[in-house]
């Protein structure tokens, strides 16, 4: 408490209740609609109505934020191409990372019979790759190249790792031969994305917008993970059901159906990351991030002609 400065709250600022209700309701409708597709089907009236209602509510949220005096999300934050591209990268890449954690955990424990502890240890190389790649990309590559080439490249690398899993996954896939290389490749790609996008997400924000810009990073991760989990679970469940209907209900067919559902989820995740690479490459502008005002500017020099008479006399004395 002694180190924190005290600031008086502006009594004129009010919570944006309409925007809060609209964005929460819209996201709930979208996530619930994706989950409903698992049981009711993509063409069911309930699924279409929920997804359409979610889109309408989110569009209404944008309109409200344009007009309200104190918006929950000032649109100037996301309309900046650097920040907007970074938020897209964070949200869309969250689908990929949630997909690999969810379905590879299923595969390791249910198909390869790994224990929960062994499954957790199996993911550690991926985490190490994420940390190493994010540190290197943000500290070494970003100042030289900027986010535009790095974020799409990271997404394509991660998509390549997921493609290896999708192409090689079977009932007895070797961890060392295929799963470990795929995890390292995916972790390296996601590390580049996260390292660059997190630095870009708060680029150029003033003191008034810094908190919202930083909070939007976590919001995008959570929203992307929620939508990705609902979408991929729905697609995987549909793939499993179709496989069982075609190949029967025997023990071997059920095991193969489960692996098939994981493969579908990995292919979809890889496709989402590959498409996201194109989108982010178009949205993000070229160039590097300029330093914040006053941080790297050389000290200003004042000539004698620019000095006032009082300054000159004080200097001469």
Both 96 and 230 in a single domain? yes
pLDDT tens across the length of the chain (317 residues):
577 676 666 667 788 999 999 999 999 999 899 888 878 888 889 999 999 999 999 999 999 999 998 898 999 999 999 999 999 999 999 877 887 888 999 999 999 999 999 999 999 999 999 999 999 998 899 999 999 999 999 999 999 999 999 999 999 999 999 999 999 999 999 999 999 998 899 888 877 788 888 889 988 988 888 888 888 999 999 999 999 999 988 999 999 999 999 999 999 999 999 999 999 999 999 988 876 544 433 333 333 433 344 444 444 44
Looking at the fold, whether 235 and 87 belong to one and the same domain comes out as: yes
Q: Is 290 inside a domain boundary?
A: no
User: For residue 142, is it within any domain?
Assistant: yes
Look at residue 66 and tell me if it is in a domain: yes
Place of tokens 């994706």: 34
Shared domain check, 180 and 252? yes
Question: 125 and 30 in one domain?
Answer: no
271 in any annotated domain: yes
Alpha-helical regions (H) of the chain: 17-40, 45-67, 75-79, 81-106, 116-136, 142-145, 147-168, 180-201, 207-247, 251-283, 309-316
Would you say residue 88 lies in a domain?
A: yes
Same domain, 125 and 220: yes
Look at residues 259, 12, 251, 297 and name the one whose alpha carbon lies nearest to residue 111: 259
Residue 33 belongs to domain spanning = 15-73
Sign of CA dihedral 302, 308, 310, 313: positive
Spatial separation of the C-alpha atoms in residues 98 and 91, rounded to whole Å: 11
Same domain, yes or no, for 168 and 22? no
- The pLDDT, as a whole number, for residue 295 is 41
Which pLDDT score is estimated for 228? 87
Assess whether 136 and 31 both reside in one domain: no
Question: What pLDDT, on the 0 to 100 scale, is given for residue 137?
Answer: 93
pLDDT at site 306: 38
CATH number of the domain that 150 lies in?
1.20.1250.20
Query: Same structural domain for residues 130 and 221?
Result: yes
247 and 166 in a common domain = yes
pTM, 2 dp: 0.83
**115 and 215 assigned to the same domain:** yes
Report yes or no on 299 lying in a domain: no
The answer to whether residues 114 and 179 belong to one domain is yes
pLDDT in tens, 15-71: 899 999 999 999 999 989 988 887 888 888 999 999 999 999 999 999 999 999 889
One domain for residues 148 and 36: no
- Residue 314 placed within a domain: no
Whether residue 7 lies inside any domain: the answer is no
Count of structural domains, the chain: 2
């Amino acid at each position: 408490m002694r180190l924190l400065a005290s600031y008086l709250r502006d009594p004129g600022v009010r919570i944006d209740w309409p925007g809060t209700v609209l964005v929460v309701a819209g996201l709930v409708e979208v996530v619930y609609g994706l989950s409903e597709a698992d049981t009711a089907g993509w063409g069911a009236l309930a699924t279409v109505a929920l997804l359409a209602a979610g889109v309408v509510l989110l569009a209404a949220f944008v309109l409200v934020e344009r007009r309200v005096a104190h918006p929950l999300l000032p649109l100037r934050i996301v309309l900046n191409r650097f920040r907007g591209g970074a938020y897209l990268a964070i949200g869309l890449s969250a689908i990929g990372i949630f997909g690999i954690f969810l379905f590879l955990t299923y595969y390791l424990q249910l198909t390869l019979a790994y224990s929960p502890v062994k499954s957790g240890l199996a993911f550690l190389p991926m985490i190490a790759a994420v940390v190493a790649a994010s540190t290197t990309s943000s500290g070494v590559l970003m100042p030289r190249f900027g986010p535009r080439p790095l974020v799409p490249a990271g997404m394509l690398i991660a998509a390549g790792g997921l493609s290896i899993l999708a192409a090689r996954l079977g009932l007895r896939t070797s961890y060392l031969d295929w799963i470990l290389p795929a995890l390292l490749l995916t972790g390296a790609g996601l590390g580049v994305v996260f390292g660059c996008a997190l630095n870009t997400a708060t680029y150029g924000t003033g003191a008034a917008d810094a908190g919202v810009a930083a909070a939007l990073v976590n919001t995008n991760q959570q929203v992307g993970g929620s939508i990705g989990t609902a979408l991929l679970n729905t697609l995987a469940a549909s793939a499993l059901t179709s496989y069982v209907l075609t190949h029967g209900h025997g023990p071997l067919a059920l095991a193969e159906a489960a692996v098939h559902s994981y493969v579908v989820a990995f292919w979809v995740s890889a496709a989402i990351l590959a498409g996201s690479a194109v989108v982010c490459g178009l949205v993000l502008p070229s160039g590097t991030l300029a330093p914040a005002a006053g941080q790297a500017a050389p000290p200003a020099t004042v000539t004698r002609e620019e000095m006032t008479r009082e300054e000159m006399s004080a200097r001469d004395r």
